[in-house]
Structure formats: structure tokens, C-alpha cells
Structure 1
Amino acid sequence: MSEAEGDAENWTLPSDADAVREALVSWYEADHRSFPWRETTDPYAILVSEVMSQQTQLSRVEDAWHAFLDRWPTTADLAAADRADVVGFWSSHSLGYNNRAKYLHEAANQVEDEYGGEFPDTPDELSELMGVGPYTANAVASFAFNNGDAVVDTNVKRVLYRAFDVPDDDAAFEEAASELMPEGESRVWNNAVMELGGVACGKAPDCDAAECPWREWCSAYASGDFSAPDVPEQSTFEGSRRQKRGRVVGALREHGELALDELGPRVRVDYGGDTGAAWLKELLADLEDDGLVEVAERARESDGDEETVARLAR
């Protein structure tokens, strides 16, 4: 996986992108972490959660979010509040830089004074609010109005880099995220892909325990190399068993079912002898245990004798 900007165009999403989308959304809707801001479409409540969540642990945000909305339940309430009280609340709940509280108070005044108490519903308009940057604006547009673009944060970049070999290039990440997101479904999609990055594909991945829905397509899962833009690259990958695992999966994706003597040379140039059929069968057994490939015996067309073949798990 290259980080060179010149490699930004040398990647493609899986040909069965619809299956990729359906797998992620189904996984998310079946089970996901429960946060109160995911249970509302109130743009004010969502904006408060987004501002509070900036560099603050979500476990600490939840209590503060409830307390903040109990005290100032609407933009009108917040706009009418003394700014010193808002900053004092922020500080007492250890929510980070106090200027965020100031900006949130000013944004509430803007909503009341400039928008008649009604939130704008597009990322561009939301970006006009004080302290609301492109990411936060898009999040509010997505989760409140289902009217956002694809979210691209550190977690999403990590997922795309690992799963689909998207290079460490902002333009490539934006393109891949936009291409993947189903049109008109920014609310569920952005929640789902962020959940994937937070639960299954963190810096230390938890693919199987979290039942990652993209294991079937994921390059990192196939190779065992889970480096990413925010995770130090493993220097021992070249020539490693992880690399060979990835080559097996890549060859089977490209060619379908292969006999060992067809697969072996595609995995290593020195296939044969000590690195021949016995070695390859051991490697395939590991991949079969991980649910990535299937190994079977079939009659050889030339003489009817049995031979071992491998294919991707169905």
C-alpha cells in the first residue's frame, strides 16, 4: 500500500460494491453501540454532541451531553444564556478547549437571529455557523437531515486504506468514500462506516470478534498486514507469511479455483522443494481456519488422479 501521491489513482473498489454496501449497513443495523445522539434527528442536539466529541472520550461526553441539554434544551435557551455560564459548564465537565463553548453559544445566537430558530440543512450553510468546520457541518447535515456527503475522518481513512488499498492521499480517500456511500443515505452510511472504524478496525483491529462485514473483501485481513496512515507500518512485511497469505487470496480472486501447482508459483517465485506443496498446504490450512479459503480434492482432467485445489470461501 503506497503513500505516494502519484499512486492515488492506482486503486479500485470491489466490483461487487453493492454487496459491500449492503454488508456494512446490515452489520450496523443488526447491532451497534448505543449513543443518545444516534437516537435523535434534532440538529441542535447533534451539533452539541459533535462539538463535545472533539478530542474527548465518548464515555465522558454522554453524561455531559445530557446535562447540557437539560440545562439548555434549545438554541433559544442557549442563546439567552450568559456565555460565562456556558464556559463554566464546559470547564467543569473537562470538555477541552473553552473556545468551543464560546463558539457553540455564538452558533446558537446565529440560528436564532439569522435563521429564525431553524437550523440550515446543508453542509455549506451549516459551515457558516461559528466554530462549525466542514467535518462537523457534514456530520450534522448527515445525522439530522440525511443530507450530507460521505464522512472522511481518521477512522474512515484507516478502514479504506486497509480494506481496499486506497492510498494515503486525501483526494483518493474523498473519492473512495463518496463512491461507496449509497446516494441519499448519508445518515445510516456515515454512522455505519464510523462504527466500523471504531469497533472492528481500530488501530488494533478486532476483525473476527466484531464480525467485520468487510472481511471477504479486505486486503489487510487477507494479508495480515494492518498498517494504516495512523498505525506504524510493519517493516517485516516483505517476504513474510502475511505477504504470502495475501498473494494466495489475490491469486484466487483473480483466477478462481486453482490446483496447487498452478497456485504455488503465483505465491512465491521459489516454489518447490522445501517451499513446495507441503508448505503451501500448511499456508492454505491457516487461511481455511480463518474462513478465507476452501481446500478440496478433485479428479485431475488429464489422468483422473486426485489433486488438491483451493478457492475463496463462499
Structure 2
Amino acid sequence: MTEEAADHLADVPVEAVREALVEWYEADHRAFPWRETEDPYEILVSEVMSQQTQLGRVVEAWAAFLDRWPTAAALADADRADVVAFWTDHSLGYNNRAKYLHEAARQVCEEFDGAFPRDPDGLSELMGVGPYTANAVASFAFDNGDAVVDTNVKRVLHRAFDVPDDDAAFERVASELMPDGESRVWNNAIMELGGVACEKTPACDAAGCPWREWCHAYETGDFTAPDVPTQPDFEGSRRQMRGRVVNVLGEYDELPIDELGPRVRVDYAPDGEYGREWLWDLLADLEADGLVETDDDGTARLRR
């Protein structure tokens, strides 16, 4: 155990803490379908979807996505515009997530002979897969990850063991707590604890938190925690408008910009705040992402 981690776990019976959490999780936890699979593709899809969407809404979208593209190979063969349109239709956040997921599927098929890398470093080579997502897939698909540290886990560690709001400190303590070679059950369990018992408004007794006897916050009554970033409103946002452009162009072979505009925003006016300049800016973003192409005469179409 590192010296820094030892400072926060000095009076904590680590083995008892581990056993209590795993027993609590295995006795009862939320039944999400991606917890019932070890398929790295299915888990990657769930992780990408969950980054910006409440888990309850992800369930339906995840099932529909896998029904349409059941394997990495199927997704790799799909038209990227169709994948992006699905993302928008299901309000799954930034469309770049769909683009990156599609590209990651191509990488798996073309660069890794159809087999997902099994460790966080290898998974991080996939497009759009950052350290957190790589570690989650390695943990849940291959039981081969490190301790996951997301906002829920930070809240748990801050309250339970008085860990300061410092990423390095959270990483150290999380790593020391996780039993060797048990990343799948441990990471699921500690994230479940943060999701149902140690939310912003804690439900320690109601959820039967297994760490109450060791928890600093439970003892002191001080349930402050690191700030949790809020998700910007989707309605009227730039990402919503980007999605509308893709959807509209999906219905037509091509459209002049002044015919596209009113179909994206009802208040579109060529020389107004939401006019040609605004729409050309959106189209430039989508063109840079490889989703749209435009002509000099002001015609836009999806890139096929």
C-alpha cells in the first residue's frame, strides 16, 4: 500500500470493507442487461451510451442498437450517417460518440482481426476510447482492469474515507481497495454503491450501505462531496441542431442551404441570428467529422 493511500485507510479493515461491499452487491443490485454479458462489443456500446445519458434510458437504446448492429463487424459495415441518425433519434448526446464508436468497430475488424484488445492500454488505441472507458471494458469484459474512478466512486471515497478532492488521491485509494484480479465484480459493486446509496442525497440506511460502520460521513453527518458537473440542456443545443441537420439530409438526396435551414430551425432566416452563417458553421463541423459534404453553390448532402 502506498504511503498516501495508507493515510486514508490507516484505521480501515480493508479486507472487511471489501467483503462487505461485494456481499452487498451480489445480494441485490440493479439489473442492467450489459451486466449479464462479457462481450466486449456489447459492453463498449453500453459504456459509450452511458457517458451522457441516464442508465434507465440507455437500456432501450442499447437493445435497439444491438438488434440493428449485433456485432462489431455489423457496425463496421454500417453507413456512418445511419449510426449518427440512430444516436440523434435516441437522444444519446454528442454525435461524435456515434462517429467514434463506428470507427472503433472498424479498427477492431481491420487492425485487430476482429478481436478486441483485452487490457486498458490496448483498448485505449480504439477511436474515442479514453482511459475510463478502456478500463471499464477491460474490467467488465475480461476481468482485467484497474480500479474504476468515476464521479460516483469519487463521491463514495470522499465521504467514506475522507479522501481529498484530488484525482491522484482517488486513484491511489481506489487501487488499494480493489482486490487483485477482481475488477469485474469490484468495479460494478463500488459504482452501484455510488449510484444507489451514496448519491448526492445519500440513502445510507434505506439502501443498507455496507460501509456505514467505517464511513467518515456517516459518523460525522458531513455528507459534502466533490462537485458533480451538470449536463448542459439538450433542447436547442448545438448538438441537437447538428443531429437535425443529419436527419433532414437523410430524408433528401441533397438540399440548398436555404431549404435546409427552415427544416432544421423553424426560426431560420437567411440573414438572421439563426441564418446562413450559423448553418454554414454547423455544416463545417459536420463536414470536418466526415458526415456531410457541401458544394460551392450552397448545396449540402450526407457523405456516403
Give yes or no for contact 1:13–1:176 (8 Å, CA) kept in 2: no
Q: Which has the larger radius of gyration?
A: 1
2:109 aligned with 1:112:
yes
**Structure 1 residue 33 corresponds to structure 2 residue 30:** yes
Residue by residue, what CA displacement relative to the aligned partner does 1:151-198 show, whole Å, maximum 9, x if unpaired? Answer: 011110110010011111111110100000000000000000000000
Give me the whole-angstrom Cα distance separating, in 2, the residues matched to 1:107 and 1:222.
46
Match of 2:123 in 1: 126
Aligned to 2:53: 56
Cα gap change, 1:149 to 1:13, in 2 (>3 Å): farther
For the 8 Å contact 1:90–1:96, the answer to whether it is kept is yes
1:99 matched to 2:96: yes
Check conservation: 2:12, 2:214, Cα contact below 8 A. no
Q: Would the aligned equivalents of 1:155 and 1:194 in 2 still touch at CA under 8 Å?
A: yes
Amino acid at match of 1:164: F
* The one of 148, 156, 160 aligned to 2:157: 160
Q: Identify which of 184, 201, 210 aligns with 1:204.
A: 201
Question: Partners in 1 of 2:76 and 2:115 — Cα distance?
Answer: 13
Partner of 2:300: none
> Is residue 2:136 matched to residue 1:139?
yes
Matches within 5 A, 1:265-304: none
Q: Deviations over 1:106-154 (max 9, x none)?
A: 0000000001100000000000000000000000000000000000111
SS at structure 1 position matched to 2:9? coil
CA drift at 1:60: 1.0
Q: TM-score, normalised by structure 2?
A: 0.72
Provide the aligned length of Structure 1 versus Structure 2. 225
SS across alignment from 2:8 = coil
Structure 1 residues 45, 36: CA separation in 2 closer, same or farther (over 3 Å shift)?
same
Paired residue type of 1:174: E
Identity fraction in percent: 79
Cα shift at 1:9: 7.8
Q: Equivalents in 1 of 2:205, 2:6: separation in Å?
A: 30
Q: Does 1:229 align with 2:222?
A: no
Summarize the Cα distance change of 1:85–1:13 in structure 2 as closer, same or farther, 3 Å threshold: farther
Offset of 1:11 from its aligned partner?
Answer: 2.6
State the partner residue of 1:81.
Answer: 78
**Structure 2: tracts of 5 or more residues without a match:** 229-304
Q: 58, 65, 68: which is aligned to 1:68? A: 65
Structure 2 distance, partners of 1:146, 1:67, is 26
Q: CA deviation at 1:81?
A: 0.5
- Does the Cα contact within 8 Å between 1:9 and 1:172 map onto a contact in 2? no
Of 10-19 and 64-73, deviating more is 10-19
> 1:152 and 1:13 mapped to 2: Cα distance?
21
Q: Which residue of 2 aligns with 1:292?
A: none
Match of 2:19 among 2, 6, 22: 22
**2:147–2:187 Cα contact (<8 Å) kept:** yes
The answer on whether the counterparts of 2:8 and 2:173 sit within 8 Å (CA) in structure 1 is no
1:10 Cα shift?
Answer: 4.8
**Aligned-CA RMSD value:** 1.3
Structure 1 match to 2:8: 11
Counterparts of 2:47 and 2:180 in 1: how far apart (Å)?
23
AA matched with 1:21: R
Q: Say which of 181, 186, 198 aligns to 2:178.
A: 181
Q: Which runs of 5+ in 1 are unaligned?
A: 1-6, 232-314
- Which residue in 2 is equivalent to 1:191? 188
- Tell which has more relative contact order, 1 or 2 (C-alpha 8 A, sep 6+): 2
d(CA) in 1 for partners of 2:14 and 2:91?
A: 42
Contact 1:8 1:169 in 2 (8 A): no
Report the secondary structure of 2:29's partner residue. coil
Please state how far the C-alpha of 1:8 moved relative to its aligned partner: 8.5
Q: Does 1:47 align with 2:37?
A: no
1:78 corresponds to which letter in structure 2?
L
Runs of 4+ in 1 over 3 A off after TM superposition: 7-10
Q: TM (normalized to structure 1)?
A: 0.70
